A and B are shown apart, each in its own frame.
Chain A
Amino acid sequence: MIKTDVLVIGAGPVGLFTVHQLGIIGLKAEVVDNLDKVGGQCIELYPDKPIYDIPAIPECTGKSLTKNLLTQIKPFKTNFHLNERVQEISKEENNWKIKTNKNKIFIAPNIIIAGGVGSFEPRKFSVKGAETFENKGIFYSVKDKNFFKSKKVCIFGGGDSALDWAIELSKFAEITIVHRRNEFRGAEHSAEIARKLEKEGKIKIKTPFQIQSIEGQDKINSIIIKKEDGKAEEIKTDFVLGFFGLLMKLGPIVEWGLNLDKKTIPVDTENFQTNKKGIFAIGDICTYPGKLKLILSGFHEGALAARACFKLARPNEKYRFEFTTTSKNIQDKLGVKTID
């Protein structure tokens, strides 16, 4: 069990900056994120796309923004719980008890949801039977590559994950890549290697094909793939891997009794509290009249939510507003040398 002042859900830019705002007023935060890395959408969806509207930073990328935010919160030595999703919450006296899908338990008077558009989940096959075979014959990630040794494996997708795994597994498994169009969107270099392996007879590439059905009872025997003109082919296979990128899902948050407006959480703009005391929502996931889904708006929302958290985390102390330029107190927390 981990006791903290604030549990932050979401390690995107807004969650990260909020850790800073909490840190300078002396509140300790723990951060949970379902992705395997820090940065949220900035890292997962557009790591290299330039961003032009962060105040005072004329141009940066999702990657560099994340890196700088991490540098900015370094003094607070925050714990990140990655690959973990918050599952359930319950009220325990003046605290929230928060349980993750890995059965980790946090006790905190405040929860700040900076969850973007929800947690990232792999996009899955939609054909009949795909669910039944999931984790038996169909996988959306590779945990142990040796599992596929000397097996027939069909890999769906045209991005880096599909190409990289096809190349890697082709060393000891029979690989067929299936993709909906002739072009791959993965790195050009990887696509070239895949084409070369195809010429050498080490990989089969089937384009432009999409899945039509999965055949088999207890295990997969084969799959049928089809072209847009209806032409179909059967491929004998033991396993199917799907790499269609990630989808954002609100997930268990919908069951916490929070007011919802479509996929967003309405908040009070004075403190970004939801309809539940001690639960705040900031960034893309919150909504209020005039809401803009901008990173800079999320930073503001986090700053206000952090101050509101102080009242619940330190009920007997009085919060004093201070500037980083002049506050000895804040500068000590940041570990910076002060100029007299």
Chain B
Amino acid sequence: MLADPLTATFSALADPTRRAILARLSQGETSVTELAEPFEMTLPGISKHLKVLERAGLIARGREAQWRPCRLEPGPLKDVSHWVEHYRKFWEQSLDRLGDYLKELQAKERKQRHRKKSG
């Protein structure tokens, strides 16, 4: 016998632990272990709650084992690291040039000071 969606949702939300789990998941996907951490609960205990939430359609779980780590789509993450590498090159070269420029500046200053002394 399947409960109507409203009943399932209400009973899923009626438990403070399950509400806390939902709050945590709204911040991003995570593993069952991480979810269990703030509560003094065993993994099977948390899994029971997750089942209720899943049946109510409030969460989706993968078919893999419990140890699903926080995972982002590889596409966007790859784009970001490509950009970061590009950005790092910019700074490596700019700072190389800054180093050279500072040497030049100080050499000029020393020459000017030397001229003043002997002038």
The yes or no verdict on A and B being binding partners is: no
Q: Which residues of chain A have a CB within 8 Å of any CB of chain B?
A: none
Q: Which residues of chain B have a CB within 8 Å of any CB of chain A?
A: none
